Structure 1
């Protein structure tokens, strides 16, 4: 038996325990932002927007390209130009060449049996063989292209990409505020439940002391058994409340660990406590919509839609460009001679759309309609955001009032418990009233803790609503 107990003690002595983490709100915010997958996605979206802007910006500059080909064709192409007798010409009186035809007595050319004029002399052209070989034909070229005017499409697309980058910045701010709201909700919930554990333990201690006093009095014959049983029932309820509070505290800690990237079973010690006040500077902050990242995102979307109208219109405007290139090729042999050579070329091109059955006009109208829809959506959501700001401000002031009322109720409950205890000790009040006073005191304390936690959360939500949760 001793060996068994010793083994258990040694096991616990050498079992690796999880170290307790001491954290404050600032450190938790940093850890949550660093660990958040949501922030990582927003960062990649910003990175994408930056590269997209650079991609469209590259269209301002010339594009250099190289191309080439190689061809091997096994069979030679054999051709023959048929020869024959060709007519001859002699210089005329005016120096120009005249057909060397035989003239008749009538002064007209003599015509042969085939109906053609008869010449004094004929030149003989033998057959000409032609051999074309493509065994190893090749060509390489370099070309430079520069757009001069594309209907404003390049500029409009680049400006739209700039707005896209700014939108990505606001998206990072929005995701940051959402991560911080979730983190602070979890943090203050953990602090709240921790204080409720203290309340439950204090209440259990008070009820336990009463049970012990009643048991001693009952043994001395000064208290009935019924009073002892009533107090024990309350003590059992206090035990259950303490257990529920401890379990709630553990779950709250696990949720906070999940957000900051710690192991769920890590024990936490939070250094911040619930405050009963809010800084006056919080309510004095400006509440313009321009501070909110989501509202700025709506404005950027409207600007992007406006640039998309220009991009669409540019497709149906004249487009001008120039290109220059140099090529070198060879390997094409004609009758055994290789025709390798290099050459320079330059070209200017102009494309002017003339008639497309209203396609361009209709596409521009569609783009303008989308721009107007985006603007109206911004106005609609802007009104909802104003309502959200007003609602959160009212909620914050209500939470301040609730803290004051619950604090006053707690003081009254403490005084009521003191009076009830004093009167019970001198026999002027029954046990039921004392137990009720204890329960009211415990409930008032819990309400005060809840009110302070609600105040912190209301402050966080108000700062997010006005775009100042940084």
Structure 2
């Protein structure tokens, strides 16, 4: 509690935290990324498949109706000759060359040792896992969209910084050129500024290239043409963190990964019960109806017939297979439980890492803003001293370089804070 109160006080003191992360553009691109994502569409199809398989498992409880047709020609059919005292000559019974017909069987499971019910539970667990996987993919898409969006915004801001830097260097170079022409300045100063100007042009081209690449990556994620002029903000916004968010860090968070691990434990337990069901009595009843030739009473034509039966099977001796399989199933349940512990530890670490990273990033935003203000002041003083002849051109160049570096550092600190905030939202399952 003390830790959270200290952090809340810290947040209130950070001057750069003024604008909420949520904004219409980001929300729009999140929705577009969700709608376009191939991974999410595949996850949705996986859910649909699991629903169908669950229905299949439920229908195993119903009677199963099967049809069969057969035809058989025997070159040497069975023949039986009997000498009967009452008959003057032997009596011969001979089978038919051809046997053919059709039959229908209706089979109803009565007791399967719990196998059918466990199969239904297994199908339900798989359905749940596919839903949790979809949830996991969705949160990952949100995070990826946030990262690409804010990186693109940062690159936009760096392009503007590079342009300002190029313009300030060009302006100073023009001033020096005019002073050289009037003989007030050493021509070497002009050469130094022209080299610096070329450097500034190179940095601007590099910044523009990075921006275009970043925007194409964002376009690819949200499903628009790669060269589309996707709208982004001019500068990276400061992070506004709801105070309630930090109170949830120490609470129990259930992430999709943990839900999947829990369902895997349930599946392992069901597999154990399925293994045990094989060694329990199996009871079925059935009805067979047929229409075939030869018919009953040795008739040559086709005749209808039927049979009603009940079947019970019980495994009696399996050389210890049941004991070994039950032990193996118990080990699998324990493995699934250990996996849940591992996943939970990873979630806790991820939350705390994102929390600490965000705190540090927000402190860096404030620090770089302070440095930027001083860099602007230093540049103005250097230019003034140079115009008064009290400073060399090198001091002015250094002051401009320091100011540009301070601007870039500030942008990087802001985009880092946005990224860590998005990571914390994902870690706390807040997307």
Partner of 1:139: 101
Q: How has the CA–CA distance of structure 1 residues 124 and 47 changed in structure 2, closer, same or farther, with 3 Å as cutoff?
A: closer
Q: Secondary structure at the match of 1:196?
A: helix
Which structure shows the bigger proportion of residues in helix conformation?
Answer: 2
Q: How has the CA–CA distance of structure 1 residues 246 and 391 changed in structure 2, closer, same or farther, with 3 Å as cutoff?
A: same
Partner of 2:284: 321
1:149 equivalenced with 2:111 (yes/no):
yes
Q: Secondary structure at the match of 2:48?
A: helix
Partner of 1:64: 65
Partner of 1:274: 236
Partner of 1:19: none
Preserved CA contact (<8 Å) 1:289 1:295: no
Query: Which of 196, 208, 212 is the aligned partner of 2:170?
Result: 208
71-80 vs 203-212, greater mean Cα deviation? 71-80
**C-alpha distance in structure 2 between counterparts of 1:415 and 1:142, whole Å:** 95
Partner of 1:4: none
Query: Which of 379, 385, 394 is the aligned partner of 1:423?
Result: 385
Q: Secondary structure at the match of 2:347?
A: helix
Partner of 1:255: 217
Partner of 1:47: 48
Partner of 1:15: none
1:256 Cα deviation after fit: 1.9
1:166 equivalenced with 2:167 (yes/no):
no
Q: Which runs of 5+ in 2 are unaligned?
A: 1-23
267-276 vs 456-465, greater mean Cα deviation? 267-276
1:200 Cα deviation after fit: 0.3
**C-alpha distance in structure 2 between counterparts of 1:333 and 1:310, whole Å:** 45
Preserved CA contact (<8 Å) 1:132 1:332: no
Q: How has the CA–CA distance of structure 1 residues 316 and 217 changed in structure 2, closer, same or farther, with 3 Å as cutoff?
A: same
Q: Secondary structure at the match of 2:391?
A: coil
Normalised to the residue count of structure 2, the TM-score between the two structures is: 0.87
**C-alpha distance in structure 1 between counterparts of 2:156 and 2:412, whole Å:** 11
1:462 equivalenced with 2:397 (yes/no):
no
1:412 equivalenced with 2:374 (yes/no):
yes
Preserved CA contact (<8 Å) 1:409 1:444: yes
Which string of whole-angstrom CA distances, capped at 9 and with x for unpartnered residues, describes residues 129-168 of structure 1? 5454344x32222221111111111112211221111111
RMSD of aligned alpha carbons? 2.4
**C-alpha distance in structure 2 between counterparts of 1:273 and 1:51, whole Å:** 48
Superposed, which structure 2 residues align to 1:287-436 within 5 Å?
Answer: 287=249, 288=251, 290-331=253-294, 337-436=299-398
1:283 Cα deviation after fit: 3.2
**C-alpha distance in structure 2 between counterparts of 1:367 and 1:188, whole Å:** 48
Partner of 1:445: 407
Preserved CA contact (<8 Å) 1:133 1:332: no
**C-alpha distance in structure 1 between counterparts of 2:93 and 2:261, whole Å:** 73
Which string of whole-angstrom CA distances, capped at 9 and with x for unpartnered residues, describes residues 385-444 of structure 1? 211110110101111111111111111111222222223222333322222111111111
Superposed, which structure 2 residues align to 1:80-91 within 5 Å?
Answer: 80-82=81-83, 86=85
Partner of 1:116: none
Q: How has the CA–CA distance of structure 1 residues 369 and 146 changed in structure 2, closer, same or farther, with 3 Å as cutoff?
A: same
Partner of 2:16: none
**C-alpha distance in structure 2 between counterparts of 1:407 and 1:52, whole Å:** 58
Partner of 2:195: 233
Q: How has the CA–CA distance of structure 1 residues 124 and 304 changed in structure 2, closer, same or farther, with 3 Å as cutoff?
A: closer
Q: How has the CA–CA distance of structure 1 residues 228 and 31 changed in structure 2, closer, same or farther, with 3 Å as cutoff?
A: same
Query: Would you say how many aligned residue pairs link Structure 1 and Structure 2?
Result: 407
Preserved CA contact (<8 Å) 1:134 1:333: no
**C-alpha distance in structure 2 between counterparts of 1:77 and 1:402, whole Å:** 97
**C-alpha distance in structure 1 between counterparts of 2:353 and 2:77, whole Å:** 88
Preserved CA contact (<8 Å) 1:289 1:386: no
Preserved CA contact (<8 Å) 2:147 2:419: yes
Q: Secondary structure at the match of 1:41?
A: helix
**C-alpha distance in structure 1 between counterparts of 2:181 and 2:34, whole Å:** 61
**C-alpha distance in structure 2 between counterparts of 1:306 and 1:129, whole Å:** 63
**C-alpha distance in structure 2 between counterparts of 1:309 and 1:179, whole Å:** 36
Which structure shows the bigger proportion of residues in strand conformation?
Answer: 1
171-180 vs 251-260, greater mean Cα deviation? 251-260
Partner of 1:97: none
Preserved CA contact (<8 Å) 2:295 2:303: no
Larger Rg: 1
